[in-house]
Amino acid sequence: MTKYLRNTWYVAAESTEVANDDLFARRILNEPVVIYRLEDGSPVALRDRCPHRYLALSMGKKVGDTVQCGYHGMVFDKTGSCIEIPTQDTIPETAYTKSYPIVEKYNFLWIWMGDIEKADESLIPDFSTVTKGSTYDFRTADKHPQQWGYKYVRGNYQLMVDNLLDLSHVGFVHTSTLGSEESTRQHASGEQKQTGRIVSDYRLAVDVESPPAFAMMLPHLKKVDFWLDMHCSSPCNFLIEFGVTEPGKPREEGGPFTGFHILTPETEDTCHYYYGSTLQIDGISDEPIKKLGEAAVIAFDEDLVIIEAQQKEIQGGKFDDESMVALRADKAALMARRLLTQLIKEEEDSKERENDAIAKIA
Ligand code: FES
Ligand SMILES: [Fe+2]
């Protein structure tokens, strides 16, 4: 059974997915959640389950700042408390549903599935460099095109974490878009490091044939230095910087991208996957950029084929089975797993200490 880190921020939805009159339903860490906006636009997240007969609240309707259950009409406010029962005047103490801290930042709605009193907005990873409306740029970012997307993944989120932290698959899975075996062999000797809650994986291939997607945009560059720097903010929010430049030239002269990969566990076997990137090259016409966007989607679909096949094979088993062979290229993925195991353990220990303290008082 997958253990999740709970005291952390997960992306519950993209801002635009939750419209003003909507009740948006999503399962996160195996819990049903309904998200909606108050009249002033601020987001609310509640457990998507009416405490009366367990109908999903998202099947009801939004009434002003409240949600009315679609079965017998109980009304809940933004804290999850029932404030009205159409058929009686008294409200039982147990008539409430759970509420979750939720914050809108970087065009996403970030949800905290853990202890409410520990929700700390400063722990939301810094995605200012890639999100829509960002003013970031190497040079003049806001005029550069951005490509965003969402995929529903039929695989445990840890499989995607492994995938993103071991980009030695690029030369084998994404041969038509991002990689070649030649660059993969060089990328294998990259560096990995952990800084606080972030695991970084740096890969550089020097003087290799330009990957197909870059060759399309920058046809004058036959040979390139090709870098992929991935940063995983534990447990599953990633920033990536990648690009190519003429061999030996500084990165700023090449074609740098900044991108993000955001995973949110849905169930043991499925996750939500948001991706996007900002292209920071001047003077490229629309057509190759459009093609590049299409190539990115092809590449993500190629990953999903692998993930879903792994999930089928692993079904019910462990993702860190000791019989799995560990390779040099897995180093960042293994660092991320160790970090996550440690964070989950710390969370459990602190819960245990709190429970012990409560037991002593009682
Ligand atoms: S199930 Fe919601 S009011 Fe009865
Ligand atoms: Fe991939």
Q: What is the pLDDT of residues 52-109, one digit of tens each?
A: 999 999 999 999 999 999 999 999 999 999 999 999 999 999 999 999 999 999 889 9
Ligand 1 atom 1, closest CA: 53
Q: Any idea which of 35-49, 133-147, 175-189 has the lowest mean pLDDT?
A: 133-147
8 Å CB contact between 151 and 40:
no
Q: What does the pLDDT read at residue 135? A: 45
* Residue 59 burial by Cβ neighbours in a 10 Å radius (0-12, 13-18, 19+): middle
CA nearest neighbour of 226 among 261, 281, 186, 193: 186
Distances (CA, A) of 159 to 66, 211, 291, 320: 38, 25, 28, 10
Q: Give distance in angstroms: CA of 189 to centre of ligand 2.
A: 18
- Does the CB atom of residue 34 touch ligand 1 within 6 A? no
Q: Is the CB of 72 under 6 A from ligand 1?
A: yes
84 CA → ligand 2 middle, Å: 50
In angstroms, the CA 31 to CA 28 distance is 5
Query: What domains sit in the chain, N to C, each tagged with a CATH number?
Result: 9-121 (2.102.10.10), 135-342 (3.90.380.10)
What is the distance between the alpha carbons of residues 310 and 319, in angstroms, rounded to a whole number?
10
Q: Which ligand 1 atom is nearest residue 53's CA?
A: 1
Question: Which ligand 1 atom sits closest to the C-alpha of 57?
Answer: 2
Protein residue whose Cα sits closest to atom 3 of ligand 1: 72
**With a 6 A CB cut-off, is 69 part of the ligand 1 pocket?**
yes
pLDDT in tens, 184-204: 777 767 899 999 999 999 988
For ligand 1, whether the C-beta of 55 sits within 6 Å is yes
Mutate to test the pocket of ligand 1, among 72, 83, 84, 88 (most ligand atoms within 8 A of CB): 72
* Model pTM score: 0.91
Across 93-97, 290-294, 297-301, which has the greatest mean pLDDT? 93-97
Q: Which amino acid is at 100?
A: Y
Q: 91 C-alpha vs ligand 1 centroid, how far in Å?
A: 13
Tell which residue, 7, 199, 41, has the closest CA to residue 109. 41
The atom number, within ligand 1, closest to the CA of 74 reads 3
Distance 312 CA to ligand 2 centre (A): 18
- What is the pLDDT, as a whole number, of residue 36? 98
